[in-house]
Structures are given as C-alpha cells and as structure tokens.
Structure 1
Amino acid sequence: MKPAELLRARVHALWQKKGPVSAALLPFAWITGLVVRRRKRRALAQPAPPSALPTVVVGNLVVGGTGKTPVVIAIAHKLRALGWTPGIVSRGYGAQQGSDPRTGQGPLDAAEFGDEPALIARATGAPVAVHPQRSRARQALVQRFPDVDVVISDDGLQHLALSRDVEIVVQDARGIGNGRLLPAGPLREPAAKLAEVDFIVDNGAPFSEGPAAGHAADGVSFDNGRIDGGGQAVETSRPRRGRPERIGMRLRPTSAEHLSSGVRVAWPDWVARHRNTPMAAVAAIGQPARFFDTLRGAGLRLERALALPDHDAYEQTPFTALNQALIAITAKDAVKCGRFADPRVWVVHVEASFSDPSWLDRLAKLLGDAAAQRH
C-alpha cells in the first residue's frame, strides 16, 4: 500500500471512534456544520428550479466510496427494462473539466468524462453528461438526448442546486463512523439526513440477518423527525414520504474479462482455472480492501495487493513492477488501462445483488408518480 493510501486508511480508522484526535478537531467540524446549515437554509429559501424530468440522486454521507456506482447501474438497467429511457449526470471527478458540460454515450474517454461516468456509460449504454454543476449537466443531457425521460445523478446528494424527486443513500460497513462531521469524522453533512431520504442501501449487509426495511442506520435511530448522532433533521423542499426503506446489497462477481482480447469467462470457471495461479491485484477505488477481500474470499492465491489513490489517472502502468503471472483489476480501473498491453491483466466484473430486488419497482413507481405530476 502506498503512503497516501496508508494515511487515508488510518484516517478512516480514526473516524470510526470518538478519540482524542477527533475531539481536537471538533471546532472545525462545527464550522462544517454551520456551512451545511447555511446551504440548506439558502436552498429552502430559494429552491432549485424544477426539472421537466423526474430525477433520482444516488449519494452517500461519508467521505470515500461506498458502492454508489453499482447501484446507479442497477437502477439504469431496471428503468430501461420497465420502458424508461434513463440518462446519467455526474460531476465527472478526475476528468479534465471545461467550462461547458460534456455529453456522450457508449465507450467514453475516462480522461474527459471521469472513470465512474465512463464505466456507467459502458455498462448501461445510457447517455451521460458531466459537469460540477449537475443542474447544467442535466440541462445539457436533455438537450443532446431528447429521448431521455428520467435522470439518475451519480452522487450529488449534497449538491442542492440540483432538484430531485427521490434520494438514495448508499452506506458500507463504516455506517456513519463516529457520527461527526468533517474533519472530526467522516460525515459530509449531519446523520439527520438519513431521516429525509427515500432509500438506504447497505453495501455488504448480510441478507439473512440485516435490519428490517425502515430501520435506521447503525448507531442512529429515528424518533419523531430527530436522529441520534447527527443533530436535528433539517427541513427540505422535497416532499417527505415517511421513514426510509432500507435495503441490503452485496456486490457479486459475475465474470472476468481479459483486458487485451476482450474474452469473458464466467466467474466460477475463471476462479477454478486460476485458483493456484500466483496473482496480484491493483485497485484505484474508494475502498480497495473490499476488492482484495473478494479475491481472497474466492480462494484465489493473492500474493500482492496494490492500492492506488481513488480515481488514479494511470498515467503510467503499475503492472510492470508486478511479477505475478496474473493481475486482477476492477471495471473502474479498466476504463483507464486499455492502452496497457499486458496480457496478464483481467477485469473482474461485479453486479449488485439486493436483499429485496423489488425495491427497484417501488423506486420506479415514485419516479412515475413524479412524472405524472408534471403533466
């Protein structure tokens, strides 16, 4: 693990408890809270202009990846299967940002659109628009692709300039950490936000023993509009629908793709073929340990695990420094590594599996109701 990634892992570990370091940073967290409250009051006083299209935002409360992208992909697939024509908007983190939004469809250049939008575009075939101001991205998306009738925002929960009809929070095993705001904790906004959203998706939650739908997040309990561990819920211009519904999610490997040739092999067959092969793995994602644990859990012989900074641009190949016979990477890394002609590299593709798949139908109904109200 590189020094920057080691430091990041230690910071996330510190944020899981209320120790002396966190306490020392509380004055700065209060400033964060003040900024968040001012933004919400401003948004309530001057609501974001409504869009002609229903919009769902998929975001998180904590810093770092929680598994939003697979949820976005699953939603896009479901909506298309139900007859919708979804489009995606994103900030395009890591891309070479210009003054105007970028739009595209199909295989996109990660350097221009960002790795996550490029991955979503390839996985779903949906049109994509990127810009730090997601409302401008949505406007550009509609202008370029007039057939789009529903918008999915990849991240943007805190981007209040983007009007939305449905909000989804994706959490992982960290939950809300120590419940404190940045930099004393991992939260971008108070945990009270969990009381306002429509769905909470728990990445990694065990299905057989996961919490029932409508229960609060770990360390947090709903009680008459209040939520312990993050302060009082703030009013919002978006209509409330009662308690959030909570869904368990696991990321299940489905296949491995040879990066150079594009040949795909079903995951069980690929694991059986390479179970005893010395292997390395490289990941530039929010939580690389999850990827490495997936490989180890499959019984693969993982000798080297190289964690790179999230959204790393892969300006130089990291593969030449690895001497293992096989190298596994994630699909998010693959959109940036196509130019590296290393025959050892395989891409592990995953898909989201939910404790209650019918939640996507209920999501679609909320969007359909929102669309009907516009006519």
Structure 2
Amino acid sequence: MIEKIWFEKHLLGWLLWPLFWPLSKLFKCLAERRRGSYQKDDKRVYRAPVPVIVVGNITVGGNGKTPTVIWLVELLQRYGFKPGVVSRGYGAKAPSYPLVLDSGTSTKHCGDEPKLIHQRTGVPVAVSPVRSEAVKALLPAGVDIIVTDDGLQHYALARDIEIVVVDGNRRFGNEKLLPLGPLRESVERLNSVDFVITNGGKASSEEVAMSLTPSLAVNLITSEQAPVSQLNELVAFAGIAHPPRFFATLKELGASIKLSKSFADHKDFDPTELASIANQGDNVIMTEKDAVKCQQYAQDNWWYLPVSASIAEHDEQKILDRIKEVMRSYGSSTT
C-alpha cells in the first residue's frame, strides 16, 4: 500500500495528506538543517587521506545501487586503482565494529550487500554504523580510493564525488519527502551531485543511462550455469527492496514461473520456510543478493541470477576523468 501511495497516486494518499503533509515538511526541514550543520562545522566531518566516492540515492527502496557499486569497483580495478568499500551493514549485527570482511564472514554480521560486493570484486570491504571508522579500518590494506555503498546522507564523512542512482521507471514517485513520499532529500539535492545514474527507463540528457544485464543462472551448490528458460517449474523468491523488478526480468528471459514470493529487503530467511516454498516447484531461483544468505543450506536445485550494470563507454569515461581529477588533487595518479 505504501508503494501505491508513493508511486501510483493511490486514493489513500490523498486521504492521508492532512496527517502526513506536516510530518513531511518537518522531515524536510530537519534533513536540510542537518546537512547545513555539517557543512558549517568542518570539525564534525572526517576527511580520509584518500578520495571518497559516495554511491547513494535520495529515495528509499532499491534503485540498483549495489550493482552500480560493483560496476564502479570493477572499473577502478581495470585502471589500476586499489579500491575499498565501506557500508553501514544494514540488517546485520557484528560482534564489534568496524568489521573487515573475509571469506568466512557471516551475512548475519556484515549484511547481504557488503558480502555480495566482497564476493564479486574481491576488494577489501568494511562495515560500521560510523562510516569513518570503516574507512580507517581499510587504510592498512593499502587502498587508494574508497567507495561507500549508500551513505549520501551520512554527512559526517567527507566525500569528493557523489553519485546518485535513480530508478528510471519509478523515478521519485510523488516527489514528496518521508512519510508522505519516498524521498530522503528533495529532488533539488540532485543539482549538487557529480553524476545521476538512471537505472532503466529513459535518462535525461544530464543523466547517465544504465541498464542491468542478467547472465546465466548459477547453481548454488555446483556453480553450474544454465539459461533461466531451461529451468523447469521455477519457484522464484526475492528479499530485495523491489521484488517485482526481479520477477519481471525472469519473465523477460522466458522463465517458467510456478510460484513467486516476495520478502522484505534484507530478510533474515528461515531455512524451514524456504524449504517449504521450494517443494512447490522443480527448481528455485533467487537474486544473487539473496543467494549469499542461503549458501549454507541451499539444495542442489537452487539457482541465483546474477546481474551486471552496463554503462555506455563515453559516460564511463566522464566518470573516470572526474575520478582521475580528484586523484591528482591528492597528489597521486593512475593511468
């Protein structure tokens, strides 16, 4: 119902307007005041000795941010940089912070998105509610640039480049701030960022167009790969911010879906519940983000669908040129 109010102009939204409009105005006032206070008081802001790139959004919900982070990290690696990634680790609780991930780190301690980024890229990843502490934990690993997964509104960490990811189909919904709409900050905030990357839909002339390209399905047990269309009677589930996008992708690939099940984003799955759902079909298909949480109890007919961000070469070069410009200001360069 919240999705319908925010993005589909549901009648209930108009009925709730008198209640939520004052709260939305208050939220906007507090958000702007908070940002302004950090801009005026440098002593409250930590500046790392290496460049920091924030990849975030101004809306709640999934926009394709994690695939964008992975794309950016892989771009940096291709050009000889040594990136590290920091994250809040939403939905998880570590024994202590900051937590630097290794191959055995549980998603219960680090969260699903940091685990996925670490597995896909192999770069150092650290999580902490205080992102500056995560940055400091990565410096001994020899990183020369930091990418923050989310954290556009985490103004206690200074940043050199801001990248906002936008859902090209849903855009900004009713363009109202929480709780009346999906915005964390007003759309005017986009005027101050370096790049707006639009995932799907139609990007404007000032935006960078991005698409998510699915590959072959991967078996969680054997790592075998197969076209989704060749997997019979699929039970599909997704614990992400916007599950309908995943189900739509499966249909576009010719998947035979017997059952689809949506879960909350960052869901801590119950293995018994998943096994019960899995029994209703011949195969199970999930997102890669969900797969990192299911590896320990997966069955041999469980698959995940990886997706990768694609950006045109000329837009990629614009982003790379900006990064190199920042690197030179730190007295270092990589070709």
Same topology, TM > 0.5: yes
Which residue is equivalent to 2:91? 94
* Matched residue SS, 2:216: strand
* Matched residue SS, 1:58: strand
- Between the aligned partners of 2:96 and 2:108, the Cα distance in structure 1 is 15
Cα RMSD for the two superposed structures: 1.6
User: Which segments of 5 or more consecutive residues in structure 1 lack a partner in the other structure?
Assistant: 1-9, 215-245
- Between the aligned partners of 2:176 and 2:239, the Cα distance in structure 1 is 26
What are the residue-to-residue correspondences of 1:278-317 with 2, within 5 Å?
A: 278-317=233-272
TM-fit CA distance, 1:44: 1.2
Which residue is equivalent to 1:171? 166
Which residue is equivalent to 1:188? 184
Which residue is equivalent to 2:25? 30
What TM-score, normalized by structure 2, do the two folds share? 0.92
Counterpart residue type for residue 310 of structure 1: D
- Between the aligned partners of 2:46 and 2:222, the Cα distance in structure 1 is 47
- Contact persistence 2:97–2:127 (CA under 8 A): no
- Between the aligned partners of 1:371 and 1:107, the Cα distance in structure 2 is 33
TM-fit CA distance, 1:287: 0.6
The 1:79–1:72 alpha-carbon spacing in structure 2 relative to 1, beyond 3 Å, is same
TM-fit CA distance, 1:199: 1.0
What TM-score, normalized by structure 1, do the two folds share? 0.82
* Matched residue SS, 1:15: helix
- Contact persistence 1:326–1:346 (CA under 8 A): yes
Which residue is equivalent to 2:291? 334
- Between the aligned partners of 1:102 and 1:36, the Cα distance in structure 2 is 28
TM-fit CA distance, 1:99: 4.7
Which residue is equivalent to 1:346? 303
- Between the aligned partners of 1:301 and 1:272, the Cα distance in structure 2 is 7
* Matched residue SS, 1:163: coil
- Between the aligned partners of 2:77 and 2:20, the Cα distance in structure 1 is 46
The 1:49–1:272 alpha-carbon spacing in structure 2 relative to 1, beyond 3 Å, is closer
* Matched residue SS, 2:164: strand
- Contact persistence 2:229–2:256 (CA under 8 A): no
With 149-158 and 17-26 compared, the bigger mean Cα shift is at: 17-26
- Contact persistence 2:101–2:115 (CA under 8 A): no
What are the residue-to-residue correspondences of 1:347-362 with 2, within 5 Å?
A: 347-354=304-311, 356-362=312-318
Counterpart residue type for residue 321 of structure 1: I
Higher helix content, 1 or 2:
2
> Alignment identity in percent?
36
TM-fit CA distance, 1:272: 4.6
- Between the aligned partners of 2:183 and 2:94, the Cα distance in structure 1 is 26
- Between the aligned partners of 2:284 and 2:323, the Cα distance in structure 1 is 41
TM-fit CA distance, 1:308: 0.7
Which residue is equivalent to 2:217? 256
TM-fit CA distance, 1:313: 1.2
- Contact persistence 2:173–2:182 (CA under 8 A): yes
* Matched residue SS, 1:56: strand
1:21 to 16, 41, 47: 16
- Between the aligned partners of 2:107 and 2:197, the Cα distance in structure 1 is 27
- Between the aligned partners of 1:133 and 1:150, the Cα distance in structure 2 is 18
Which residue is equivalent to 1:211? 204
* Matched residue SS, 1:351: strand
The 1:305–1:22 alpha-carbon spacing in structure 2 relative to 1, beyond 3 Å, is farther
The 1:361–1:303 alpha-carbon spacing in structure 2 relative to 1, beyond 3 Å, is same
Q: Deviations over 1:303-360 (max 9, x none)?
A: 2110011001113341323310011011000111012242221111111122x23323
Which residue is equivalent to 2:208? 247
Correspondence 1:66 to 2:23: no
TM-fit CA distance, 1:31: 1.4
- Between the aligned partners of 1:365 and 1:98, the Cα distance in structure 2 is 40
Q: Deviations over 1:6-48 (max 9, x none)?
A: xxxx202101236232443011111111211221121111132
- Between the aligned partners of 1:272 and 1:33, the Cα distance in structure 2 is 46
- Contact persistence 1:118–1:335 (CA under 8 A): yes
TM-fit CA distance, 1:141: 1.2
- Contact persistence 2:53–2:146 (CA under 8 A): yes
The 1:107–1:97 alpha-carbon spacing in structure 2 relative to 1, beyond 3 Å, is closer
- Contact persistence 2:93–2:108 (CA under 8 A): yes
Which residue is equivalent to 1:103? 100
Counterpart residue type for residue 230 of structure 2: R
The 1:272–1:285 alpha-carbon spacing in structure 2 relative to 1, beyond 3 Å, is closer
Counterpart residue type for residue 360 of structure 1: E
The 1:85–1:254 alpha-carbon spacing in structure 2 relative to 1, beyond 3 Å, is same
* Matched residue SS, 1:289: helix
Which residue is equivalent to 1:11? 2
Counterpart residue type for residue 201 of structure 2: A
